[in-house]
Amino acid sequence: MYGKIEAAAARMERIPHVSPFSFCRNTTICAGGDAPYAFYPRSAEEFCAAVRILRESACPFAVLGRASNVLASDGGFDGIVLKTDNMAALQKTEGGIFAECGVSVSALLAFAAKNGCGGLHFLAGIPASVGGAVFMNAGAGGAFIGGRVHSVTALCGGETIVLPAAACGFSYKHSLFMDRRYYILGAQLSTERADRASVLRQAAAVLGQRRRLPRGKSMGCVFKNPEGASSGALIERAGLKGLRIGGAYVSCEHANFILNRGDATAAQIRRLIETVRDRVYAESGVRLEEEIRYIGEF
Ligand SMILES: Cc1cc2nc3c(=O)[nH]c(=O)nc-3n(C[C@H](O)[C@H](O)[C@H](O)COP(=O)(O)OP(=O)(O)OC[C@H]3O[C@@H](n4cnc5c(N)ncnc54)[C@H](O)[C@@H]3O)c2cc1C
């Protein structure tokens, strides 16, 4: 693998990069090993060129936004990370906003307020990129980004395509992008006309409600909610609040959050996730499904 990675990296040297890339320092859970390289394309063209080179070199790669929903193994990732932070263009358009995949939710909301674009406030406080949010169909309080997507610009094979929302397969914490090797380059989001003060007020109200969420190193909710039930409630009912493996523990405030005390390994976090899943199943007969995504070998 080393040869393929080095060959691909050499062909991409003009794209900003770091070597090595630490998952421990760059994910919100602050755990995991390294990847030999992370590249930070500055435009859709640079991203597409990088993917072409990686494919031609048969080099494994992983696309990351803000890395707020991923757990990388302690052994890291034997491939190249494409991190979208530098793809951060925003444009006011007819009926909404076009955001490149690397735009952070906080930058999106600041831009929406400045331009009098309402309806995206439910995203406030989610530490996501637009690409990661579209991929995960992120949301809160019963609203999901898929409900605000007009269309997604994506790299499909070697081609850039525009998918209308109806073709994006949005459902609860799911999108088409999980099932196909399409990469999200940007999204056209539909908004409503609103004044700056009301956009800011609504976002502040959402942030206020989110103050109850646990603080610290986490990936947010670990498990999806099963139909008609709450994973947090099931975990709490199984008596698992506070359960600890090494430096990883189940939050006592919100049982669907697993926190890293600071020194947890990815293996400990993974073992705790599996323990919680098994004990909830034994207690309630409900099999919880992870919302988070794994990177590397566990
Ligand atoms: C404190 C905290 C609170 C949270 N609260 C919420 C919440 O209220 N609601 C909610 O839904 N989530 C929440 N999350 C989870 C997380 O923020 C979301 O899932 C978010 O959408 C992930 O975005 P990201 O940019 O960090 O994606 P990443 O974690 O970087 O990536 C997640 C997945 O998306 C893929 N991906 C990312 N960008 C692209 C792209 N451009 N093209 C193709 N694939 C891509 C990655 O390959 C990966 O599989 C929370 C997380 C934390 C840490």
Would you tell me how many other CB atoms lie within 10 Å of the CB of residue 183? 22
Q: Where a domain ends, among 178, 210, 242? A: 210
> Is 224 part of any domain?
no
Q: What is the CATH number of the domain that holds 56?
A: 3.30.43.10
**What are the backbone dihedrals phi and psi of residue 187, each rounded to the nearest 5 degrees, phi first?**
-140, 140
**82, 122, 136: residue to mutate for ligand 1 pocket, most atoms within 8 A of CB:** 136
Per-residue pLDDT at 287: 97
**Mean pLDDT (whole number) for 120-143:** 97
pLDDT tens column, 26-69: 999 999 999 999 999 999 999 999 999 999 999 999 999 999 99
Verify whether ligand 1 is closer than 6 Å to residue 104 (CB atom). Answer: no
Which domain does 283 fall in, by range?
A: 231-295
Q: What is the CATH number of the domain that holds 242?
A: 3.90.78.10
198 and 274 inside one domain: no
166 and 273 inside one domain: no
Verify whether ligand 1 is closer than 6 Å to residue 96 (CB atom). Answer: no
Give the C-alpha separation, 70 to 67, whole Å.
6
pLDDT exceeds 90 at position 88: yes
More confident residue, 158 or 104: 104
Q: What is the pTM of this model?
A: 0.97
110 and 77 inside one domain: no
Ligand 1 atom showing the smallest separation from residue 184 Cα: 42
> Is 132 part of any domain?
yes
**Mean pLDDT (whole number) for 268-275:** 98
101 and 196 inside one domain: yes
Per-residue pLDDT at 239: 97
**Cβ within 8 Å of residue 210, ≥6 positions away:** 124, 125, 140
Q: Where a domain ends, among 146, 181, 210? A: 210
> Is 223 part of any domain?
no
> Is 215 part of any domain?
no
pLDDT tens column, 156-173: 989 999 999 999 999 999
Distance 293 CA to ligand 1 centre (A): 9
Ligand 1, atom 49, lies closest to the CA of 293
Terminal alpha carbon distance of the chain: 18
Distance 123 CA to ligand 1 centre (A): 12
pLDDT exceeds 90 at position 2: no
**Mean pLDDT (whole number) for 270-282:** 98
Per-residue pLDDT at 248: 98
134 and 184 inside one domain: yes
242: left (phi over 0), alpha (psi -120 to 50) or beta: left
8 and 64 inside one domain: yes
* Counted domains in the chain: 3
The encoded tokens of residue 97 equal: 């906003």
pLDDT exceeds 80 at position 112: yes
pLDDT exceeds 80 at position 180: yes
Give the C-alpha separation, 260 to 268, whole Å.
10
129 and 150 inside one domain: yes
Q: Where a domain ends, among 38, 59, 83? A: 83
Verify whether ligand 1 is closer than 6 Å to residue 101 (CB atom). Answer: yes
**Mean pLDDT (whole number) for 125-151:** 97
43 and 123 inside one domain: no
Per-residue pLDDT at 27: 98
